[in-house]
């Protein structure tokens, strides 16, 4: 069952890789001008390499293909023409600032004969950072850390970050206008909201300054003076729907979380499981959702059904301790506790990008896997699951067990995939 769970997860990841979804969406190159390729996010390397090959192998002049690509550290891909760099994630670094600056410069240089092709994927918010006003990079990093620690969902985080940026919230499109602009995006957000993918640098932003202020107040965030000044200034507001900058712009999603869950569904059926699909857009506190999923799994098992419970989405973790881990590992740990070593149940929870929380390194685990022996093996090693959960130390719990899900960078990102397999007992 553990092997089957991994096979199902791998099928979800494979469905979302750019190799299968990008080539068919690449537009014809401009007849006379330049093709300006700008890429950011965890899939930026793989998307850029595929796009380069598509155009250069078809004879498009290399001197007319310009651009810049940035992915999180460890997610770089060898490219032929477009410079590729690595930047910090989830906390931005100097490379994030330099990359955003370069992207804005290239966009601003575009003419009506050029085509600006933007390739976006999850992680782009941290990879493209252009602090507005008097905000420094160090202060922007502090804001990011505060948002991550408070447990705010990604949508709320982005509402705040857009007001502190010169590139997010449609401002890259402002720079590129009046050139033609096409954005091809791999969605890593619930409900595939374009304004949330990499903080929506090329689409109008319907959220408001008052919403950003309310989020800061609700979580009691202590912001740097320069950030507070930006949020107090209505001139920091983002461009809205109907703005002329978006007249020549198109946004297209080429891979979605639901595509990955559909692939997981097919793989589960092929393995002989009935599927109970909870959908691709689940949100909530990881440990709380785990408790409800344990209740569901135990109920389905009592019915004697051989079933796979599948779900996607992105959970949050409110930091209460000092341990290491991420939402998928914390979910798996809480699920193991709630299931109480119930036989015949195996669960895997992983981030399709290959890294789940941790220290922001490409070597971080993607998630974890549990079964009915997890708690007994932990006890034999002197591990206390409740104490590890209280300390947000899910990595510290699963690493000694050898139960971390370690995939390495997958070069795509369509949020999380969770698989709970239930085998009726004789």
> Using one digit for the tens of pLDDT, what is the confidence trace for 20-64?
999 999 999 999 999 999 999 999 999 999 999 999 999 999 999
In this prediction, residue 359 carries a pLDDT of 66
Contact yes or no for 286/319 (Cβ under 8 A): no
- In this prediction, residue 290 has a pLDDT band, given cuts at 50, 70 and 90, of very high
**CA pair distance 308, 423, nearest whole angstrom:** 9
Summary mean pLDDT of the chain: 94
User: What average pLDDT does range 306-329 have in this prediction?
Assistant: 93
Distance between CA atoms of 352 and 286, rounded to whole angstroms?
A: 16
**Same CATH topology for 31-255 and 258-422?**
no
pLDDT bin (cut points 50, 70, 90) of residue 426 is confident
* pLDDT for the residue numbered 144: 82
In this structure, the dihedral spanned by the alpha carbons of residues 325, 327, 331 and 333, taken in order and rounded to 10 degrees, is: 0
H or E element: which one contains 404? Answer: strand 404-405
Phi and psi dihedrals of 156, rounded to 5? -70, -40
> Does 373 or 316 have the greater pLDDT score?
373
Confirm if 107 and 201 have CB atoms less than 8 A apart: no
Q: How far apart are CA 370 and CA 60, in angstroms?
A: 50
Helix (H) or strand (E) holding 124: helix 124-127
For residue 423, CA distances in Å to 98, 163, 271, 372 come to 52, 50, 12, 12
Q: What is the DSSP string of 351-367?
A: ETTS--STTS-TTS--E
Nearest to 75 by CA among 364, 329, 316, 317: 364
Phi/psi at 141 (nearest 5 deg)? Answer: -60, -40
CA–CA gap between residue 189 and residue 313 (Å, rounded): 7
Reported as a pLDDT band with limits 50, 70 and 90, residue 3 is very high
Q: How confident is the model at residue 360 (pLDDT cuts 50, 70, 90)?
A: low
Q: Quick one: 322 exposed, middle or buried, by C-beta within 10 A (0-12, 13-18, 19+)?
A: exposed
Q: Which residue has the higher pLDDT, 153 or 223?
A: 223
> Cβ–Cβ contacts within 10 Å for residue 332, how many?
30
Four-residue CA torsion sign, 167, 185, 151, 89: negative
Q: Is the pLDDT of residue 256 over 90?
A: yes
Question: pLDDT digit string (tens) for 341-356?
Answer: 999 999 999 999 999 9
Of 46, 57, 32, which is closest to residue 113 (Cα–Cα)?
32
Percent of the chain, pLDDT > 90?
Answer: 86
Cβ pair 271, 4 in contact under 8 A: yes
Is residue 299 over pLDDT 80?
A: yes
Per CATH, the homologous superfamily of domain 258-422 is MOFRL domain (3.40.1480.10)
- 31-255 maps to CATH 3.40.50.720: no
pLDDT digits (tens, 9 = 90+) for 120-171: 999 999 999 999 999 999 998 888 888 888 888 878 888 998 999 999 999 9
Q: Residue 256 in contact with residue 15, Cβ under 8 Å? A: no
Six-digit token string for 169: 């919230």
Domain boundaries, the chain: 31-255, 258-422
Question: Scanning the structure block, which residue is given the tokens 């992680």?
Answer: 123
* pLDDT for 358: 64
pLDDT tier, 90 (very low <50, low <70, confident <90, very high otherwise)? confident
Contacts of 358 (CB under 8 A, 6+ apart): 324, 325, 326, 364, 365, 395
Looking at residue 319, its pLDDT comes to: 85
């Amino acid at each position: 069952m553990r092997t089957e769970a991994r096979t199902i997860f791998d099928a979800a990841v494979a469905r979302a890789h750019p190799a299968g979804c990008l080539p068919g969406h690449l537009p014809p190159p401009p007849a006379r001008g330049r093709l300006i390729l700008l890429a950011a996010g965890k899939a930026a390397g793989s998307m850029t390499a595929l796009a380069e090959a598509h155009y250069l192998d078809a004879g498009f002049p290399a001197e007319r293909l310009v651009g810049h690509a940035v992915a999180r550290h460890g997610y770089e891909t060898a490219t032929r023409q477009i410079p590729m760099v690595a930047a910090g994630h989830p906390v931005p670094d100097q490379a994030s600032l330099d990359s955003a600056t370069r992207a804005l410069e290239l966009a601003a240089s575009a003419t009506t004969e050029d085509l600006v092709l933007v390739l976006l994927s999850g992680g782009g918010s941290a990879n493209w950072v252009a602090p507005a006003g008097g905000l420094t990079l160090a202060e922007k990093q502090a804001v990011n850390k505060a948002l991550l620690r408070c447990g705010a969902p990604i949508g709320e985080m982005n509402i705040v970050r857009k007001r502190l940026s010169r590139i997010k919230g449609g401002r890259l499109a402002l720079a590129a206008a009046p050139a033609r602009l096409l954005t091809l995006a791999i969605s890593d957000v619930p409900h595939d909201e374009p304004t949330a993918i990499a903080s929506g640098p090329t689409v109008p932003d319907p959220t408001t300054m008052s919403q950003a202020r309310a989020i800061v107040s609700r979580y009691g965030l202590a912001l740097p003076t320069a950030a507070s000044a930006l949020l107090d200034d209505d001139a920091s507001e983002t461009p809205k729907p109907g703005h002329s900058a978006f007249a020549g712009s198109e946004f297209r999603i080429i891979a979605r979380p639901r595509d990955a869950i559909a692939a997981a569904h097919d793989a589960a059926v092929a393995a002989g499981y009935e599927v109970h699909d909870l959908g691709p857009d689940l949100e909530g506190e990881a440990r709380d959702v785990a408790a409800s999923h344990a209740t569901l799994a135990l109920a389905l098992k009592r019915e004697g059904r051989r079933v796979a419970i599948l779900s996607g989405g992105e959970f949050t973790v409110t930091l209460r301790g000092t341990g290491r881990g991420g939402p998928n590992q914390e979910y798996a740990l809480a699920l193991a506790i709630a299931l109480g070593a119930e036989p015949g149940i195996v669960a895997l929870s992983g981030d399709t990008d290959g890294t789940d929380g941790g220290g922001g390194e490409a070597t971080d685990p993607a998630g974890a896997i549990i079964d009915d022996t997890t708690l007994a093996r932990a006890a034999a090693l002197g591990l206390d699951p409740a104490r590890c959960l209280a300390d947000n130390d899910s990595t510290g719990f699963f690493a000694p067990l050898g139960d971390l899900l370690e995939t390495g960078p997958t070069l795509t990102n369509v949020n999380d995939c969770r698989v709970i397999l239930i085998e009726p007992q004789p």
